[in-house]
Amino acid sequence: MSDKFVTCYVLAWYGARGEASRNPAVRSQISTYRQRFHDELGKGPDEFKIGFVSDYARTIRSLASLPKLQAWLDASRKIDGQPKILFEDLRRLFVRCPRESRDTLLQELREHGENIIDLRYPEKLSNFNHSQQMQLLLCGSPKVASQRQKRSSRMGKKQTEAAIRQSAEARSKRAIAQARQLSSLRADMLEKGMSITLREIAEEANNRGLKTARGGTWSPATIKRMLDRAATLDDET
C-alpha cells in the first residue's frame, strides 16, 4: 500500500446495472477505501492514485461470475512485480455465493492468492490460515447476521422475562401453600391445647419435618411472616 498507484475491487449486487460509479454499493465501498487510505497512510488523494475494478453480480457461483476481476487477475500474471488488488472485505464475495459453491470460489481465488489482499487483516489470501479460510466459507451476510442477532436478543429478553415471571409465580404459590399449612398447624395445636407462641409453632413445624421454601428449619421470625401472609389471604377471601 506504499505504492503511488493502488487497485481496489468493488462489487455491486443491487440496483440497476450500468455505470458503476452511480451504484450506491459501489460509491459506499469507494468512499471506504479512500477514507481508509487517508487514515492509515496519512496521504491525501493527490499523493497517490486509486484504480477500481468493479463487477455486478447478485449471485456468485465461481470466478466466472466476476468477469472483470477474473480478467484483472489473469492479466496480472503477465506483469512483473506481482501487482496486488485490494478487497475491503473478501466476505462480500462469499455471502453472495451459495454454500455448495464457496469451496470452488475459494480455490479459484487462491490460485491468485499472491495478488489478492484482504484489508481486514491486511493479509494476502495466499497467507490465510485455516481459521481465516473457514470464515470465508461459513460467513453470512452482515446485515442478515445483525438482524438475526437483534431478533435473538429480543427473543432472549422475552424468554428471560417470562422465566422471571414464572419463577416469581412459582415462589408465590409455594409461599401461599406454606402459609396455609402453618395456619392449619397453629389451629391444630390450639385445638390440642398446646402453646401457640411463635417459638412453639416453629419447634412443632420442625418436629413434623416441615421445611421452609429454601429447605431450612423454621424460626419464630419465618413463622411470623408466614402467619401474617395467611392472615392477609384470609382477609382477601
Domain limits of the chain?
5-140, 146-236
pLDDT reported for residue 50:
82
The three-state secondary structure class of 173 is: helix
User: Could you say which architecture CATH assigns to the domain 5-140?
Assistant: 3-Layer(aba) Sandwich (3.40)
User: Exposed, middle or buried: residue 218 (CB in 10 Å: 0-12, 13-18, 19+)?
Assistant: buried
Q: Is 15 left (phi over 0), alpha (psi -120 to 50) or beta?
A: left
**In contact, 43 and 37? CB cutoff 8 Å:** yes
Q: Residue 195 has which C-alpha cell? A: 402453646
β strands within the chain, DSSP E:
5-12, 49-56, 85-87, 116-118, 123-124
pLDDT reported for residue 1:
43
Indicate the residue type of 193. Answer: G
pLDDT in tens, 92-117: 999 999 999 999 999 999 999 999 99
pLDDT in tens, 140-159: 855 554 555 566 667 777 77
Overall pTM > 0.75: no
Strands across the sheet containing 49-56: 49-56, 5-12, 85-87, 116-118, 123-124
Rg, the chain, Cα only: 35
Low-confidence spans in the chain with pLDDT less than 50:
1-2, 45, 145
